[in-house]
Structure 1
Amino acid sequence: MTLTHPLPVAAGAPVHTLWQELDRRFAETGEARLTIAPARLAESGIALRDLRCGYGAGDSIVIERSGFYQSAGLWTNHPPAARLATGLLPGPDGRDHPRRPPKPAGTFYERYDRKAEATVSFELLDLRRHLSLFHRWQNDPRVAFFWEEDKSEEELAHYLSTRLENPSVMPVISSFDGEPAGYLEFYWGREDRLGAYYESDPWDRGWHGLIGERRHLGRKKTAAWIRSLSHYLFLDCPLTEKLVGEPRADNVKLLRYSEAHAWRKVREFDFPHKRAALMHCDREEFFASARF
């Protein structure tokens, strides 16, 4: 089920407070749906339409878990990539690719992960603040084995600059509890090198990633990282029905962690530089299985 992702709502607003309450109740109960009394809305001055993810059923209002985590405005602070509610869809850029929106500034996603007991956040990479960190991570032999970018700061500055300038790629610093922990590249699948190796749809999104700080490695935080990046990419564009990835086929740990969060291995194939596993994650399956 694809829902229209709303504009952000200010923290402390009545509907924001109610969303926080529902998020807590979903986490505590594990239920697929919750009910609230209409009086709960009335006492806060909230109209049903403001809830965005609830519907009336007799004397109750029902909130589905899947709909809630696709539409409640708790985690991002910028408009989605496409605004279905107003019919403002980006047009083609001269090929069969839609126009891509501007990159968000600063921190654009934040969510407390109860299983990892840590807050996951994403911010747009800032070359001045993050270059030395990125250089250190890429020159760690553990990272270099998979990324093959163990180069000088000057070379990596060029690498990052091209991604900051490319409208189809978003270079991102991911943090745990405010401490930079890793690097992500979010991309539109049709413009990526991967687009030539599978039947791409215009709104497919994908990612490359690394956890650079060794103290943030481990099952719980890696799972929180994959949950969060998948969640954000679906939230960011309501037209995105599929996420894609192409990790090295021998990256056994990443494949195992991903498959536990609704990612599935479609097949293996050969890039010029590596044997890759084509991975897909479908929106409906992700929100049906994800527990935040």
Structure 2
Amino acid sequence: MTVHQPLAQPLALTAGSPLVALWQELDKRFAESEGDRLQLPGHRLAELGLSLRDLGCAYLDSGAIVIERGGFYQSAGLWSREQPGRRVATGLVPGPDGRDHPRRPPKPAGCFYQRYDRQSETTVGLETLDLDRHLDLFHKWQNEPRVAYFWEENKSKAELADYLSVRIANPSILPVIASFDGDPAGYLEFYWGREDRLGAYYASDPWDRGWHGLIGETKHLGRNKTAAWIKSLTHYLFLDCPMTEKVVGEPRADNVKLLRYTGPIGYRKIREFDFPHKRAALMHCERDEFFAIARF
């Protein structure tokens, strides 16, 4: 018999609060339904001491409270340490190729995203990489032949420490450790598209976000877990900034397995192009399409 793990503790609000309990109920109901909306009795929020504004993703229709699936997964505070959209900075600073970009917000610290994935029956966690704690793991992963083929960073520990230090110091890059049920599984780099090398190869918008990723631990490979972390990281990137309408990527054009995983959640291969070091596939995932077709 399959044993279903409980949802991860919400990061944004106090666990057990009426709002968190309602969000958890709605998350479960959406998971059990293929429908795009749910309804609650009009008096339900008042009984819980809540308002439509507290719920953040609902409206009234003929006396019923209606919650849209896409709105719920963009606004409920179950998964991110901060309420969706709070980490937004203002002002413009000079960018590459003469294109200005917004001033980027401070990077999160520690674990900043958790989501229980029902398909893989694991909790996906994202935390900011700590050089002292994670360098040995990063060195081990990069020197795995399977990883080195795509990343080409099979170098010494000192060289990889320099590699990570540059990224830690760069306000447009967030180095991340991904985990399953608290066990470190792989490495991610989140970046702002306009400041990345990719930004020169397409018409980047100021809030485009992108990522690179690897699963370093072979025990965490497999269809369900790979699908879980790609869906989770994309979810986080859209949650982190409400102005991000597109998540981009540039995997090797011959990375057929990765391209196969991204299609079902809205990633589209725009074209192939040549970086100095590889033939790449330009990938785009639009916010509206992701939240229309992704199932959590």
Using the alignment, how far apart are the partners of 2:64 and 2:272 within structure 1?
Answer: 48
Using the alignment, how far apart are the partners of 1:118 and 1:82 within structure 2?
Answer: 27
**Cross-structure match for 2:210:** 206
Please say if residues 250 and 282 of structure 2, whose CA atoms lie closer than 8 Å, have aligned partners that are also in contact.
yes
1:225-264 alignment to 2 at 5 Å? 225-264=229-268
Please say if residues 77 and 83 of structure 2, whose CA atoms lie closer than 8 Å, have aligned partners that are also in contact.
no
TM (norm. structure 2) is: 0.93
**Cross-structure match for 1:167:** 171
Tell me which stretches of 4 or more aligned residues in structure 1 moved more than 4 Å. Answer: 79-83
**Cross-structure match for 2:180:** 176
- Which residue identity lines up with residue 242 of structure 1 in the other structure? K
Aligned equivalent of 1:217, options 217, 221, 228:
221
Please say if residues 52 and 72 of structure 1, whose CA atoms lie closer than 8 Å, have aligned partners that are also in contact.
yes
Aligned equivalent of 1:104, options 105, 108, 129:
108
- In the TM superposition, what is the alpha-carbon distance from 1:123 to its structure 2 partner? 0.1
Give the CA RMSD over aligned residues. Answer: 1.3
RCO comparison, higher one (Cα < 8 Å, 6+) = 1
Using the alignment, how far apart are the partners of 1:100 and 1:190 within structure 2?
Answer: 11
Using the alignment, how far apart are the partners of 1:25 and 1:170 within structure 2?
Answer: 33
TM (norm. structure 1) is: 0.94
Indicate whether 1:58 and 2:62 are aligned. yes
**Cross-structure match for 1:92:** 92
Aligned equivalent of 2:42, options 32, 38, 41:
38
- Which residue identity lines up with residue 98 of structure 1 in the other structure? P
- Which residue identity lines up with residue 58 of structure 1 in the other structure? S
- In the TM superposition, what is the alpha-carbon distance from 1:48 to its structure 2 partner? 1.3
**Which sections of structure 2, spanning at least 5 residues, go unmatched?**
1-10
**Cross-structure match for 2:6:** none
Please say if residues 89 and 105 of structure 2, whose CA atoms lie closer than 8 Å, have aligned partners that are also in contact.
no
Aligned length: 282
- In the TM superposition, what is the alpha-carbon distance from 1:47 to its structure 2 partner? 1.1
Using the alignment, how far apart are the partners of 2:158 and 2:80 within structure 1?
Answer: 32
**Cross-structure match for 1:269:** 273
- In the TM superposition, what is the alpha-carbon distance from 1:89 to its structure 2 partner? 4.8
**CA 1:165–1:233 in structure 2 vs 1: closer, same or farther (change >3 Å)?**
same
**CA 1:29–1:224 in structure 2 vs 1: closer, same or farther (change >3 Å)?**
same
**Cross-structure match for 1:117:** 121
**Cross-structure match for 1:3:** none
